[in-house]
Chains A and B, each alone.
Chain A
Amino acid sequence: MSVVADGSRALAPMPDDAARSQIRRRSRIRLYELVIWFLAVAAIIVLPSKMLILTEIAILALFAVSLDLVLGFAGIVSLGHTAFFGLGAYVAGLFARHYFAEPVAGLILAGAASGLLGFATSFLVLRGSDLTRLMTTLGIALMLGELANQMGWLTGGADGLSGFSLDPILGLFEFDLWGRNGYIYCLAVLFTSTMIARRIAYSPFGLSLKAIKTNPMRAAMVGVPARRRIIIVYTVAAVMAGFSGALLTQTTSFVSPDVLAFHRSADVLLVLVIGGTGYLYGGILGAIGFTLLRDWLSVVTPQYWMFWIGLLLIILVLVGRDRLAGWMQYLPGRLAQSRSSRS
């Protein structure tokens, strides 16, 4: 049984079954999750002309979900999460160009590469204060961006990597002109990854992460091995970010150094803040909101949409992120209950 349950038993006698059923209750599939996935699938038939933007949303959502694991669950403020996204994008692109153009293989390889980077750099985020973490994560992303820029012979430099096309997915489904199969492919990866993230988040392991986030000292005293848990979750999140980067490459057949730019890290933070942190679906809802907003803004003010995004960030912070996420309270019965029992 979990460390958390052990700890709480030590304080107040609590039967093992109670802890187990509590975890089971928390991890039950909720109505709104079914609705979200149903709508995502229904969109294939209902909105055939919007496949490209839906693909974009799915990719961004996966990226945000991976950041949520780091930020919402482990409480690490990262300004360089795009390092993993960008690495995944480049690995997938190079793999398709030089070796083998089957997407799923490239996806797995990209995830593995990003995971490796995540594992290696996770030791850096263990140390120091928030500021130190911010700077190390930012520094790593900047270094990779510089690397992609300088190694023109490999990455195409500032012009980006292009001139490759991808084989059909698993040899069966070709990327079509309308992006329908591309969307289905991204949705499948998003679904699988979210389910894995969900399994992690609602397991005793996920609970212990929340304990570390809320009060590291107390968590350590109950016996949670904070270092190891953070390393694991950081690596898993890096793998998922690598997946999302690979998806971007595979659906657009193009990689530019932009995938490693600072504004991507900031954007994904904003996505997560719009949707709310710490319950995974925030990433998905936020991605929908953010993409639609950016699309609309870039039509209204093509050059200066950044201004309004910045204004939105400031307003969000000043109004208070918690109050924004409070909309959940207005959902019917069981949902609201689950929400209140969570906090």
Chain B
Amino acid sequence: MKYVTEFRDGDLAQRIAESLAAEARPDRPYSFMEFCGGHTHAISRYGVTELLPPNVRMIHGPGCPVCVLPIGRVDLAIQLAMERGVILCTYGDVMRVPASESLSLMKAKARGADIRMVYSAADALGLARKHPDREVVFLAIGFETTTPPTALVIRQAAKEQIANFSVLCCHVLTPSAITHILESPEVRQYGTVPIDGFIGPAHVSIIIGSDPYVHFAEEYRKPVVIAGFEPLDVMQAIRMLVRQVNEGRAEVENEFTRAVTPEGNLAAQAVVSEVFELRSSFEWRGLGEVPYSALKIRPAFAAWDAERKFELTYTPVPDHKQCECGAILRGVKRPTDCKLFGTVCTPENPMGSCMVSSEGACAAHYSYGRFRDIPVVAG
């Protein structure tokens, strides 16, 4: 496939690895956070970790929307489906996210709730057209990449005055999550989570552009390199970060110039700001309440806002006591530091959210890296 295959070339990867090894100074460690789950997945799947010098460490960030969706939000969706009799539609990734009382959307469906997996927000609106006698609610999750399609579907529902459709909005924002990590005690008290720079998101940045990251580079003196999701993109971004650190620079650089511009996709930004406004606070799994980190539907579109329509009240629910997802999402712990990892918590039966999506740190390590942890013993 064009623009995919050539960015996975093994020989070129070796070449980048060699020059990376030559450029990384042996006398200091380098720690970079890849914010996005897409990068976490690429790093695990393509064995990028093995190609890095031993003193270059990647820390997984919280950029997996499924992972950061708190239990209380999934509970709201289950409540709508089981108690209010709505057709609840959502993306496939959300189906297995653990909720209260050992439930998930998948298990609620097994108990008879009408829960449907859709490929696109437009498919959910299609269901509302097809079933005018039923309430159809779209559980919308995702970062800036996934927000514009939700905005389009709400605008379309308003245009057609489709009264039996609404959206339970859980869209979250990347820059506020990065700020939250940089302000966290673990990062500020250098030593617990040392972060020398960030790999910036690929597809989020197509929408928001590279400009929103300038603040982190300037204010926090952290280099940011926006990278595509293919393995060569990630390797090149790490090389660019090592160079910035070596030269004492803290700038925003863009490795993904084939799709990301400084200003981003203006058509997408326009529809998002027409339909959504900032929430003053939103709970993230792992990070807790983060100010101005999520979006809600503007009052002009209140008729399509499931929270208003069904008068939903959010109740926070603590995670499983032994689950380390919170610390893993903040970069404080690794998947293997969790007692539940690979024992009771597996991708088939996830206890914590990081084991659900293939982009979650735990699922990625379970699928592609867990045998690396076991020493090879001959004979």
Q: Real complex partners, A and B?
A: no
Interface residues of A (CB under 8 A from B): none
